[in-house]
């Protein structure tokens, strides 16, 4: 019977292309006692593909606080736990931060594996300065949204945002209003998938492109900083 405290592993999963799964991630998921998944329906096909014959338990933003104490108990009993999100690295605009914080408070070892995350390829692929950047994730939906945009107007570093299809045009319009329609930007969607697309240009040019195209998939928006990175460019589509 185990007497040592277990470990908590944060395991990145592919954001689209299953070939991006690492050998280490597969091994850890096969070895741990418990797998926690943001949505078990999403994770099941991926686990089956890699022949990981283990049931995943639900761990999402609506039950995270309630379930964490039970997970900590399992870890203290010596069970190893792996947390995965629907896609990418856990705790990056996904559940995970609270569990990690509580594990550390309880002196439980936490290991985060390197692996897929959407904003890194989007940033590198954008052509915008990547030596310094700020990750904003999802903007507030209502309260605090305009305040945040006003503050970001003076941000000098490249800014990275996540956005959903039904809010993309609204967000681009607001970028035009608060950051300037001539601000250089890049929008990537369906990264690593068959219909991957990156559109580069000014905020106005990119908005015009997506007004005339189907909005589908998850979007990563990269926007140039406001002082050091001014300039105009021509829209380019990959």
**Neighbour order of strands in the sheet with 34-37:** 56-58, 34-37, 81-84, 8-10, 110-112
Q: When comparing pLDDT for 228 and 58, which is higher?
A: 58
Give the end of a domain, one of 112, 141, 173.
112
Measured distance CA(95)–CA(85) in Å, rounded: 7
- Residue 89 belongs to some domain of the structure: yes
Residues 93, 173, single domain; the answer is no
The CATH number that applies at residue 65 is 3.40.1010.10
Residues 96, 17, single domain; the answer is yes
In sequence order, the β-bridge partners of residue 219 are 163, 189
pLDDT tens, 113-162? 999 999 999 999 999 999 999 999 999 998 999 999 999 999 999 999 99
Measured distance CA(148)–CA(165) in Å, rounded: 21
Confidence of residue 234 (pLDDT cuts 50, 70, 90): very low
pLDDT tens, 162-173? 999 999 999 999
pLDDT tens, 23-51? 999 999 999 999 999 999 999 999 999 99
- Residue 230 belongs to some domain of the structure: no
Give the end of a domain, one of 81, 97, 112.
112
Q: Which residues of 227-236 are buried (b: 16+ CB within 10 A; e: fewer)?
A: eeeeeeeeee
Helices (H), the chain: 23-31, 40-49, 64-76, 97-105, 119-126, 145-152, 168-178, 203-211
- Residue 233 belongs to some domain of the structure: no
- Decide if pLDDT at 54 tops 60: yes
The pLDDT score that the predictor gives to residue 21 is: 97
- Residue 92 belongs to some domain of the structure: yes
Residues 12, 32, single domain; the answer is yes
The pLDDT score that the predictor gives to residue 3 is: 58
The CATH number that applies at residue 198 is 3.30.950.10
pLDDT tens, 183-219? 999 999 999 999 999 999 999 999 999 999 878 989 9
Give the end of a domain, one of 96, 112, 128.
112
- Decide if pLDDT at 232 tops 50: no
pTM as predicted? 0.88
Mean of the per-residue pLDDT values of the chain: 92
Q: Which domain holds residue 34?
A: 8-112
- Residue 139 belongs to some domain of the structure: yes
The pLDDT score that the predictor gives to residue 228 is: 54
Q: Is the dihedral of CA 124, 127, 129, 133 positive or negative?
A: negative
End-to-end CA distance of the chain: 56
pLDDT tens, 79-119? 999 999 999 999 998 889 999 999 999 999 999 999 999 99
Domain count of the chain?
2
The pLDDT score that the predictor gives to residue 94 is: 86
Averaged pLDDT, 48-58 = 94
The pLDDT score that the predictor gives to residue 4 is: 87
Measured distance CA(205)–CA(212) in Å, rounded: 11
Residues 80, 27, single domain; the answer is yes
């Amino acid at each position: 019977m185990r007497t040592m405290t277990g470990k908590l592993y944060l395991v990145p999963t592919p954001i689209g292309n299953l070939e991006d799964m690492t050998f280490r991630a597969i091994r850890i998921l096969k070895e741990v006692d418990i797998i926690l998944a943001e949505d078990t329906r999403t994770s099941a096909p991926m686990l089956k593909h890699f022949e990981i014959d283990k049931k995943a338990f639900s761990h999402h933003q609506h039950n995270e606080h309630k379930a964490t104490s039970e997970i900590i108990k399992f870890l203290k009993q010596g069970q190893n736990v792996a947390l995965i999100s629907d896609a990418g690295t856990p705790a990056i605009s996904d559940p995970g931060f609270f569990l990690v914080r509580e594990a550390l408070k309880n002196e439980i070892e936490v290991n985060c594996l390197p692996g897929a995350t959407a904003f890194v390829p989007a940033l590198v692929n954008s052509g915008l300065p990547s030596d310094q950047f700020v990750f904003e994730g999802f903007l507030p939906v209502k309260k605090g949204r305009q305040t945040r945009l006003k503050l970001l107007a003076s941000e000098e570093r490249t800014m990275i945002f996540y956005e959903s299809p039904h809010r993309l045009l609204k967000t681009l319009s607001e970028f035009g209003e608060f950051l300037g329609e001539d601000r250089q930007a890049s929008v990537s969607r369906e990264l690593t998938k068959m219909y991957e697309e990156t559109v580069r240009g000014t905020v106005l040019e990119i908005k015009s492109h997506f007004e005339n195209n189907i909005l589908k998939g998850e979007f990563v928006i990269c926007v140039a900083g406001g002082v050091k990175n001014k300039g105009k460019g021509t829209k380019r589509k990959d």
